[in-house]
Structure 1
Amino acid sequence: MVITLFLLGLLYVAFVAVLIYLGVQAVVVAALAVVFLLVQFFLSDKIALFAMHGREVSAQEAPQLHGVIDRLCALADMPKPRVAIADTDVPNAFATGHSRKKSVVCVTTGLLRRLEPEELEGVLAHEMSHVAHRDVVVMTVASFLGIVAGLMTRFALYSGLGRGRGDRGGPPIGLIILAVSALVYAVSFLLTRALSRYRELAADRAAALLTQRPSALASALTKVSGEIARIPTRDLREAQAFNAFFFAPAISGGVSLANLLATHPPLERRLEELSKISAQLGRGV
């Protein structure tokens, strides 16, 4: 993770240096990027719940769900997040929020219908690990470079700068900006996805150690992945935009470039790591 964050920072420095060298006035664009970053940072919980049609539920409305989260909070010695349920048959869960006190853990009705209590505990422990480790903050900061590069790409595309200098024999500044922005965005995208996969493995490990039942989390992963394959493609496409938040990705097709571009590690890798943890716990390590 340290290496990935270092490379992202290095890309950011190189990107800014190129912009300064080219004399681009990117103050307004950078300001917009900062605004988008702050909106994503402070309103991620509200945006995610609104988009997924999730609603907060009280302990009286969902006693079992609140009971599991209460137990996990006591074990982890962390503040209790808000609890929400999204009415969709896609079996999944996600956690978001910029701090432990402002976080929310949301599960779908499809997940609640399919999992046994110990499997549900494993999934919730995974999501609460994201909260405890502030993964939303980590991924938001890591994606900031991609936001800046994306804005600069659109700026070059729509401002017409790419056609401005070629007539006078100078370098095509707009095209240079476009090429650099696209390259930086592509590389930062790959690095951010790699960081996301690492955070998922870390959350799996934390959940397995917290509950002391890696097999329950492995069972939930296998069951959820199998059930997602049976969900209608239309419903999966609607949910795919939130793959980075989900416990397991909503993938409507087979595996293509998923190992490189996916937000989550392959199921086999996650099960293998949980098996190792189970062996360690069995030896008393």
Structure 2
Amino acid sequence: MGKRILYFLLTNILVLLTISIIFTLIPGTWKYIGEDGQLQLGTLLIFSAIIGFTGSFISLSMSRWMAKRIMGVQIIEPNGRLTEQEKEVVEKVHRLARAAGLMHMPEVGIYQAKEVNAFATGPSKKRSLVAVSSGLLNEMDDDAIEGVIAHEVAHIANGDMVTMTLLQGIVNTFVVFLARIAAFIVSRFVKEELAPIIHFIAIIFFQLIFSVLGSLVVFAYSRHREFHADRGGADLAGKDKMKHALESLKLYSNRMREEETAIATLKINGTKKTSFFSTHPSLDERISRLK
């Protein structure tokens, strides 16, 4: 899930910035600075909410397409000629999806990577994707793989992407709102002829800064939802398989720590200690909660 959140956030920042620039450059669009030269906070808040939620929903609609392109996910066609490994992955995803009560089966894909990882994404339960890495299939045993897939299917069943989008919309609203207030204040300290240019540059600068700070809220929510997905995975695949999957990921993580100097923090296997920039809690905490 970590990569899904990372790409969603990066896409959101770029989309939000693009929309903001377009709205800023169009003359007379949502004029939130009154004729007296003062900010109209009510108008600015409405303006910010429209941009914020538009950006987050555009990012959501692009999430599945972005994941496929960036990760190089090869979609498995259930009715095509499949290898034994591909058949097993599709069978697990579809069986667990039916157990979760999903009316539409997620797309299933595999991407080539040594990392042990999997993610679920998509704008809705009807248009979702579950992708696993070749590293996961090669490193983990059958029960661990099923536990990991159950965890990702639980994210879809829980509607985590839509909930994340609504949260991101709220965060975006405050990002746009505060960025324009800060830009307005900065522009008051320069010459009048330079104020519009400085105001425009400051909007971009502060929006990027506040977007990064706002992502901490999204990361915190992501960590919270991981515990729910673990419980959902335990309900779907069985508590023993979910626990075995987490313990297998921990063993893999420990082995990688011995072979490498560092392990990326935005992967399904998480980190030894949870940080503010982690999308997942530590595996020790997740195993403890599941028990």
Measure how far apart 1:232 and its partner are: 6.3
1:99 partner amino acid: S
Judge conservation of contact 1:122–1:208 (CA < 8 Å) in 2.
Answer: yes
CA distance in 2: counterparts of 1:66 and 1:118, whole angstroms: 15
- Structure 1: which 5+ runs fail to align? 1-18, 276-285
Work out the CA distance in 1 between the residues paired with 2:172 and 2:222.
16
Match of 1:92 among 95, 117, 121: 117
TM-score (norm: length of structure 1): 0.69
Comparing 60-69 with 139-148, greater Cα deviation is found at: 139-148
Letter in 2 for 1:22: L
Report the counterpart of residue 92 of structure 2 in structure 1.
Answer: 68
- In the alignment, the residues of structure 1 paired with residue 55 and residue 259 of structure 2 have an alpha-carbon distance, to the nearest angstrom, of 33
1:177-200: CA deviation from partner (whole Å, max 9, x where unpaired): 999979976774443322211100
Per the normalisation by structure 2, the TM-score is 0.68
How has the CA–CA distance of structure 1 residues 274 and 34 changed in structure 2, closer, same or farther, with 3 Å as cutoff? closer
CA contact (8 A) 2:116 2:268 kept: no
| Cα shift at 1:36 | 2.1
User: Residues 222 and 232 from structure 1, CA distance in 2 versus in 1: closer, same or farther, beyond 3 angstroms?
Assistant: closer
How far apart, in 2, do the equivalents of 1:52 and 1:123 lie?
A: 18
User: What residue number does 1:164 align with?
Assistant: 187
- Distance 1:129-1:23 versus aligned 2 partners, 3 A rule: same
Secondary structure in structure 2 of the residue aligned to 1:94: strand
Instruction: Write out per-residue CA displacement over residues 8-28 of structure 1, whole angstroms, 9 at most, x where no aligned residue.
Output: xxxxxxxxxxx9993256466
Q: Quickly say closer, same or farther: Cα 1:28–1:57, change in 2 above 3 A.
A: same
Q: Which of the residues 210, 215, 235 maps onto 2:243?
A: 215
Match of 1:22 in 2: 39
**2:221 paired residue number:** 195
- Unaligned stretches of 5+ residues in structure 2: 1-32
Identity within the alignment, %: 25
Contact 1:123 1:220 (C-alpha < 8 Å) held by counterparts: no
Could you tell me which residue of structure 1 aligns to residue 126 of structure 2? 101
Q: How far apart are 1:92 and its partner, in Å? A: 0.1
**Bigger Cα displacement from structure 2, 124-133 vs 192-201:** 192-201
Compute the displacement of 1:150 (Å). Answer: 3.8
**How big is the alpha-carbon RMSD for the aligned residues of Structure 1 and Structure 2?**
3.9
Partner SS state of residue 119, structure 2: strand
Q: CA deviation at 1:227?
A: 5.2
2:108 aligned counterpart, secondary structure: strand
2:141 paired with 1:116? yes
Q: 1:117 to 1:152 in 2, by over 3 A?
A: same
